Amino acid sequence: MPEVLKAPLVVEFPFTRSVGPVQSAFLTGLRERVVLGVRTRDGRTLVPPVEYDPVTAEEIRDLVEVAPTGAVTTWAWNHEPRRGQPLDTPFAWVLVRLDGADTALLHALDAPGPDAVRTGMRVRVRWAGERHGSITDIACFEPYDDAADHTAVDEPTAHDGQFENTIDGIVAPARLDYTYSPGRAQTAYIEALSERRTVGERCPSCRKVYVPPRGACPTCGVATYEQVEVGPRGTVTTYCIVNIKAKNLDIEVPYVYAHIALDGADLALHGRIAGIPYDQVRMGLRVEPVWTKGARHPDHYRPTGEPDAEYDTYKELL
Amino acid sequence: MTREIAVVAFAQTDHRRTSEELSEVEMLMPVLHDVLDQTGLKTADIGFTCSGSSDYLAGRAFSFTLALDGVGAWPPISESHVEMDGAWALYEAWTKLLTGDADTALVYSYGKSSPGSVRDVLTRQLDPYYVAPLWPDSIALAALQAQALIDEGATDEPALAAVATRNRAAAATNSHAQLRGSVPQGEYAVRPLRIGDCPPVGDGAAAVILAAGERARELCARPAWIRGIDHRIEAHGLGVRDLTDSPSARLAAEKAGAFDRPVDTAELHAPFTPQEVVLRRALRLDDSVRVNPSGGALAANPMMAAGLIRIGEAAAGIHRSESDRALAHATSGPCLQQNLIAVLEGDPR
């Protein structure tokens, strides 16, 4: 078996999410250094606040301001912070019940070490320098000595949730890193392509040859192992004319993109057709691959000059 | 319940740290063939097929459609998929059989954690407004639950280590398990959890065949009848929940009939040691119950399959007449957020 092929794969996109009225007030409040909670009908104060009561599913809208101070309800020491986490030095994950709240908020606590953290300890919000209306407007929590500060507000006070320029959504970037490996069948296919050969696999049951192979026959549900070299020539089974230029693609429009059944294959693959005016491409056209230097797959296919294939020879491969 | 439905076959891969030489369908196919061979069924004989997987694990979009190649899904079969553990795919298949639309079902699930970093991948299932932007990884959240239990006096670090030791000792006789026998507790991963309190990260797949009524008796000498199955979920806010308890697991167990009579065996899907502490209490499992004879998720935790494997292991114990009444549990989400309970029984011996 050839060496397993691997390549880095980064999946990264920003999620743009709209927020409800309670979330909007809470996140805008953080930007203004105000922590808001929401009251349930039975008098509990939820921080962070949600749009619906988690017990009764009732819509809840009564906002209150709670203190930026509170107590740790549970914690865990994170000695190796990971990408994206609130602090890049060792810290404690904490659930904090803010003064005036009945539920706890997850965040980070900046503390010198695990010996400095305990359940029940007093903490306060450390605000981020730049705030945009996000949970990360709280940079983290920090230990807090009540005795030195008598200005703390314990009872939640009603708040109308009104701020200037309330936010109506968040953009949450997400990035995950992978090491992609294509598996046995596709590895063999890619290896052969590097020698400018196209190798499919034959189903031991129905005898169809799949190109590119995926390791299994989708009709029979069995593994395909027998390798079969196909092509290099093939037949256009169907095609379309592309009139819109793709971003970052240096191909003049219009051009033809086609299904091509390579000789010996029972499945058509896709390819661009060139070397012929776009309006002369037709079903049954015989084509061959054109490789460019250093390429890992054919750049495009061009006419061989042979007579067109009879429809009956490719009608099952459309 | 109008129809009796049973697990009649179960198969799983050997679970390994990596299966990079195989695509997902290549990894999955042997277990599909295994359960079909056990029953003598062919794809065409299966009334309904349901699978569970997540594209985020390996970063491969629509991987579940490619996995269908291994079933032989052409011409089109009656098929469905859940972006959840296969235990929930089994639940869907069970309801399908209850309707009478099908007499047999193939349920499978698979997960390849090796291409990515599962600790980070799982952050993407969290509340996207208040939690996910902080990237709290799966071990960190389990550690918060562990500390809450320690503060309550329900457990301590040596007791958690004993949970890990017992599961992996049981796994010594499970050739499919990834961590077997004596495994050191190691350093803190996220304190108070040590490496040994956490499940191994690995790749694997599992499959089950369900059959209704007489069809089940034809296909299996001692079918594992599903006497009850139910799943429940808790509030998504971690700070709203009491992390030392699992009311959703208890309610699901009650609805599934788990408390009607004692079970002799329980397969718990507790990837982290403190979760077994929570579940034993919530499900009222005393020392008379054999818990995780397979080694559980601490011995092998292929994402999206480890819950289905709990049902499969519980059923296989009944098939082998080692068990007469078993509880199987599957979980999903952080800190046992969502829980499924199935109660399985064999015919009297």
Note whether residue A3 is domain-resident: no
Residue A266 shares a structural domain with residue A280: yes
Q: What is the pLDDT of residue B282?
A: 98
Residue A70 shares a structural domain with residue A199: no
* pLDDT tens digit sequence for A212-228: 999 999 999 999 999 99
| Rounded average pLDDT per 10-residue block, chain B, 349 residues | 90 95 94 97 95 93 89 90 97 97 97 96 96 97 98 98 98 97 96 98 98 97 98 95 98 98 98 98 97 98 98 98 98 98 96
* DSSP assignment of B204-271: EEEEEEEEEHHHHHHH-SS-EEEEEEEEEE--S-GGGS-TT--HHHHHHHHHHTTTTS--SEEE---S
**Chain B residue closest to A97 (CA)?**
B239
Residue A145 shares a structural domain with residue A88: yes
Q: How many CB atoms lie within 10 A of CB B182?
A: 9
Task: Give the total number of structural domains in chain A.
Answer: 3
A222: closest CA of chain B, how far (Å):
6
The answer to whether B228 and B257 have CB atoms below 8 angstroms apart is yes
Domain that holds residue A42: 11-174
Looking at A127, A149, A174, the residue that finishes a domain is A174
Alpha-carbon gap, residue A149 to A151, rounded angstroms: 6
Residue A219 shares a structural domain with residue A261: no
Residue A156 shares a structural domain with residue A196: no
Q: What is the pLDDT of residue A152?
A: 55
**Chain B residue closest to A105 (CA)?**
B239
Note whether residue A289 is domain-resident: yes
Alpha-carbon gap, residue B81 to B24, rounded angstroms: 15
Going from the N-terminus, what domains does chain B have, and what CATH number goes with each?
5-117+200-219 (3.40.47.10), 135-198+225-345 (3.40.47.10)
Q: Which of A4, A181, A220 to mutate to test the interface with B (most CBs of B within 10 A)?
A: A181
Residue A151 clears pLDDT 60, i.e. is over it = no
Note whether residue A215 is domain-resident: yes
Note whether residue A1 is domain-resident: no
* pLDDT tens digit sequence for A155-213: 889 999 999 999 999 998 999 999 999 999 999 999 999 999 999 999 999 999 999 99
CATH code at position A303? 2.40.50
Residue A201 shares a structural domain with residue A264: no
- Mean pLDDT value across residues A110-118: 97
Looking at A158, A174, A190, the residue that finishes a domain is A174
Residue A199 shares a structural domain with residue A141: no
Residue A202 shares a structural domain with residue A157: no
The helix or strand, by DSSP H or E, that contains position B148, with its residue range, turns out to be helix B138-152
Query: Is the four-CA dihedral B127, B130, B135, B138 of positive or negative sign?
Result: negative
* B residues 260-279 lying closer than 8 A (beta carbon) to A: none
Residue A225 shares a structural domain with residue A289: no
Q: What is the pLDDT of residue B47?
A: 97
Residue A149 clears pLDDT 70, i.e. is over it = no
Residue A135 shares a structural domain with residue A187: no
Note whether residue A191 is domain-resident: yes
* pLDDT tens digit sequence for A227-244: 999 989 999 999 999 999
The reply to whether residue B134 touches residue A86, judged by beta carbons under 8 angstroms, is yes
The reply to whether residue A77 touches residue B128, judged by beta carbons under 8 angstroms, is no
ipTM (interface predicted TM): 0.95
Query: Is the four-CA dihedral B279, B283, B284, B290 of positive or negative sign?
Result: negative
Q: What is the pLDDT of residue B294?
A: 98
Residue A164 shares a structural domain with residue A309: no
B74: closest CA of chain A, how far (Å):
5
Both structure tokens of B188: 């803190």
Note whether residue A53 is domain-resident: yes
Note whether residue A268 is domain-resident: yes
Residue A242 shares a structural domain with residue A269: yes
Note whether residue A19 is domain-resident: yes
The reply to whether residue A95 touches residue B239, judged by beta carbons under 8 angstroms, is yes
**Chain A residue closest to B130 (CA)?**
A135
